[in-house]
Structure 1
Amino acid sequence: MDPNKSFSVRELHEHILMLEQMLKNQAEILGIKDLLLYRLNERIDDLESQNNQLQQQATNLLWFKNRSN
């Protein structure tokens, strides 16, 4: 915006409303991103836990296999 340009109160009000809407939209997008990151981190934790369980089962199977030989 040109600093020398004058605006009416109505025009300024419209600009303020537009900026407020932009801020609300950005806040909503950030909130959605935060929620997605939280859920992805939960899923990663679940997968790591499942991986640990599978590794333990594989170790147990190898131990039983070696014991029976």
Structure 2
Amino acid sequence: MGDILITSQVTPEFLSCLYRVSGLVVDEQAITSHAVLYAHALKIPTIIGTKYAKTTLYDGQMIELDATKGQVITS
């Protein structure tokens, strides 16, 4: 439960946001970005390479992340 950060790409500026989120969804394939590596170290479920999450999901929408399967599940 909590807020999930959904973005088209991650930059170092996102590092400070990671303490306040329960999940991270990134449209671009950014497996070696600092923010993605940091999220992994903090054990924050992270899904990368979604391509269209930023444009198809909306603020306040209830979603579930299955980081093991790499799935964003919408209700």
Give the strand-richer structure, 1 or 2.
2
TM-score range, shorter chain: under 0.3
Give the helix-richer structure, 1 or 2.
1
Q: Relative contact order, CA 8 A, sep 6+: which one is greater?
A: 2
- Tell which structure's C-alpha radius of gyration is larger: 1
TM value normalised by structure 1: 0.15
